[in-house]
Structures are given as structure tokens and as C-alpha cells.
Structure 1
Amino acid sequence: MSFSPFRETVMSFALVSGADDSPVILHVPHSSREIPAEVRAGIVLDDPALERELDHITDAHTAEIAAEAAALAGLTPWRFVNRLSRLVVDPERFPDEREEMLAVGMGAVYTRTTHKEVLREGDGRPGPLIERYFRPYAQAMSEAVADRLAATGRAVIIDVHSYPTRALPYELHGSGPRPPVCLGTDPFHTPPELLAAASEAFSQIGERGLDSPFAGTYVPLEFYGRDPRVAALMVEIRRDTYMTEPGGRATAGLGALAQALARLVDAVPKG
């Protein structure tokens, strides 16, 4: 599998190999707090304010949940992990006017914080960040999906996210239910059997909600709405179930969530 030729971007994400016959990719896009110095220079927040924003915006410990789940699963899934903060670029946003989060300054390159304060002046000069970080990430994820399709005939993307117990000001749909586990779906890419398997896998965690407070799934644009062999589901975990908020340590709940995620991985048939 080939990745971006730019040395600067190769280390901004990691593809961790799983079993050759596993169709599952655990995608972890928002777990990191890392911001390269050249990107930090374009952010107007002082250091304490930036740390507070990272506390709120980072899906803390989700990389650990995915790693532990992969170790527990009977058939090891692949993992695609963003090594940089979503304040660099958000790989799950559209880099154009189709993304509704542009309305609150949170398109592919954020210009506003979770509390609607200025993060970058003006439009944040998105072009260089899109070219340097967003496009290589998107290309690598597309290649990872294509690799699973070639190896197994299908690909199953399970997005691993978390969200705060209380809605943050930037949330466009924050007034709805906030269950312990929210399952985000797509009408084309989320088959009923995958959704049912997820609901069963997380039944020991607590109530499972559907598309609230966050909806949808991540599928690379190359396949989105086009290839039914690519299935996708977003798993959103309420943070009080496994960590101290807003950006603190993991608690004992992390292990139970990793076990639940492993059960979901094992419920996905191979081939």
C-alpha cells in the first residue's frame, strides 16, 4: 500500500495492520492533541486557552480503546489513527461548502473554537493545511479501504469517537438525547445487521441512541454513496462513561468499552 510521498505528512497518521482476512478498519480521527509548531503559529489562542480547547475538542483515550479492542478481538481489525489534533485539520469534514459545520467555523480547517471564539484569524488560510495534511490523509484512508476490498471483498469502517456529557456551544444538534453510546448511521453504508450487532455489543454499557447528538458515518469520498461493499458505523461514546471530563484521565470504564468494541468487531463476519 502506498502513502503520501511527503515526509511531513507520513507521520501524521498511522495504519496499524490487522489480520489479512479482516474487513474491519477501526478509524480513530480525533484522539490526538499533537499540533506541529508551524500550525500552532497560525492559532491565536495563548497556551492555556489552547490547552483548554484541546480538553474539550479531543476525543481523549479513543486510540487506547481501539488498541485494546483490537488486542481482544478474535480476528484482529486494522486501525487507522490520526496522530495529529483535529485542530490541524479535521479529516472527517468536507473541504468545501457542502459541510454544514462551516456555519460554526468548523469545516475541514477550524476557525472557531468549541465555545465559538476565534481560533484562527480570517479563513485560517485553509489551502496549505488541506494540501499538506487533509488530502494525504484522505488518500491513505481510501487506499486502506481499497486494500480491504481487494483482500476480503468488502470493508467495514467503524469510527471511534467520544462526546462530552453536556453539549458544547458549537454543537448544531446538541439539544437531543445524549445516551452513553450513540450509533451514527448512513442510509447507504450502514446495513441493518451491522447496526444490530453494535447495539448488542454495547448493551452492557447502557442505553444506545441513534444519530443523536451526532449523526452519520465516515466513508472516503471515492466510495461514498457508490460502493455498497463499504459498510460504515460511527460509535460515539459519552465521556463520563470512561474518563474524567473535560480532558482528564481514563477510568475503569475504558476497559468495558474496549471489550464492547471487540465484541462488535467479532460480530462482523469475515469475507
Structure 2
Amino acid sequence: MTHAPQPFQLLPGAAESPVILHVPHSSQVIPESLRGSIELDDRALELELDHITDSLTAEIAAAAAEAATATPWRFVNQLSRLVIDPERFPDEREEMLAVGMGAVYTQTTHRERLRPPGVDHQPLIERYFHPYAEAMTAAVGERLGATGRAVVIDVHSYPTEPLPYELHGDGPRPPICLGTDNFHTPAELLAHAEMAFAGFGGTGINSPFAGTYVPLKYYGKDPRVSALMVEIRRDTYMSEPGGLAGPGLTALANALAHLVQALTD
């Protein structure tokens, strides 16, 4: 909960790699200037961060990048998703508005009030959401220019037991959930992912979380941009909520590295 030096970071990879590992929810950093707008005391906020953060996913992506023969690019959110969630729509298109979790969250994972009602969220959208989206769009454009294609791999995690905010929490919760898009997830990409993560007790498709992240400039328009969401069930690599890493982290990073390499080759 300290001031972040920058809201996001693009870590360069190999010139020939089309892969961007996108890590949007790994940080717990909330700038002090924004702490006063959150209606939780320090203990409640700490617990909420443990529940909502995709803990250690930045570490998994970093280890995968180091293990891959051709280093992927990494786009990492340096701020908590309690500041803004860069993967939401900032308007009424966002279905998570039903549980107070649009681009700016107003409710917690347990459906309690996070921010006071009636507050204008536009300053947060302008300061954090739009610059993030523009930078990610530029990163994808750079990969297209350099390699002729771009592959966005979203790296997420989710709790073993569903939380009250989940809209689709009653479905299967496999060790690895692969989120897909009809336009941007070709069968070959999905097959590579299923093979890479085959050793973790099973993969599932679009449950409990579905979809992929593609910048709106390219979404549904440019088939050169492919995308897949990798959702890792947290008990496979850490103690919950917000605990220490377990031995599964290295194995997951190696599997992700295999996926990255297959996509680069």
C-alpha cells in the first residue's frame, strides 16, 4: 500500500517472440493517495487483497520467461486491481457491474461495500485505465510489426473455493482453466496449452472464468492477434489466501515456458 513508481511495466523479450505474457492482477500495491477512498480498515483491506489478488502470478510469468528459449515479452500491472481492473470494460457493457466489479470496484469479493456510493470514478479511469489500455495496445502492435503476429497469454489464478462475487462459480474448478475466445483462440493455440499443462490433473475450458484479453483496437477484427487466458487454481502452487508459494510454482512456470516456446516455434 505504498506509492508505485509506475502503474505498469513492459519487460522486453526476444525480438523474434510474438508472445506477451499479460499479468494484470498480481500486485497488492495501492498508492497512499487512493487509500482514503477505500472503506476498509487495514486488517479488512489486507484480507481483501489476499482474496482478490492473483498472488505470485508475476513470479510464475518471470520464471517462465527465464526458462523459455526465446524470452517472451511481459506486460505486468504494478498496481492492485482495487485501483482499477484493466481487463474490465469501463462502461455498461461490463457484466461484473452486477456485483460492483466493473473497471473500478465498489464491492469486495464478499459483496461488502468497498467505496462510498456516488463517487465519480472517471478520474481513476483517465489516470490509470486508459493509459494501461493504450500501452497494451502499443505492445501488441509492436509484436505485429516485428513478427507479423501477436499472442497474448493472460496469467491469472483463482481460489479453490468460489467467492461470493463470482457470477459463474457453480461450475467446474479444474487445476488449470483455459479461457478462450471464438475469434482469437485458434484450435492450435488451445491444443498447445492443453498439452503444456497436461500434468497438473486436468484442464478445463471457460469455467469458472471465461474469455481472453485482447485490446479493443484488435478485438474481433484482426486474426493475427491470438489470445488465451491461463487461470491457475491456487492450491496447485500456494497456500490460500495470500500465503507462501509451494513446490508447484516451479512446475507451473516450466509448463508455461513450454507453451511459450511452442507458440514461438
Question: Which TM class, normalised by the smaller chain length?
Answer: over 0.9
How far apart are the structure 1 equivalents of 2:26 and 2:151?
20
Identity %: 70
Are residue 220 (structure 1) and residue 223 (structure 2) matched?
A: no
Which residue pairs with 1:178 in the alignment?
A: 173
Which residue pairs with 1:144 in the alignment?
A: 139
CA gap of 1:123–1:267, structure 2 versus 1, over 3 A, is farther
Report Cα offsets for 1:149-201 as digits up to 9, x if no partner.
00000000000000000000000000000000000000000000000000000
Which residue pairs with 2:226 in the alignment?
A: 231
TM-score normalised to the size of structure 2? Answer: 0.98
Which residue pairs with 1:3 in the alignment?
A: none
Offset at residue 125 of structure 1 (A): 2.3
Q: In structure 1, list runs of 5 or more residues that go unmatched.
A: 1-7
Report Cα offsets for 1:25-67 as digits up to 9, x if no partner.
0000000000001111100100000000000000000000000
Say whether the 8 Å CA contact 1:161–1:235 is kept in structure 2.
Answer: yes
1:1-271 paired onto structure 2 within 5 Å:
11-270=6-265
Which residue pairs with 1:4 in the alignment?
A: none
How far apart are the structure 2 equivalents of 1:228 and 1:167?
34
Amino acid at match of 2:173: R
Report Cα offsets for 1:93-135 as digits up to 9, x if no partner.
0000000000000000000000000000114421000000000
Q: In structure 2, list runs of 5 or more residues that go unmatched.
A: none
| Aligned structure 1 segments of 4 or more residues deviating by more than 4 angstroms | none
Say whether the 8 Å CA contact 2:84–2:105 is kept in structure 1.
Answer: yes
Q: Secondary structure at the match of 1:195?
A: helix
How far apart are the structure 2 equivalents of 1:181 and 1:9?
31
TM-score normalised to the size of structure 1? Answer: 0.95
How far apart are the structure 2 equivalents of 1:110 and 1:187?
28
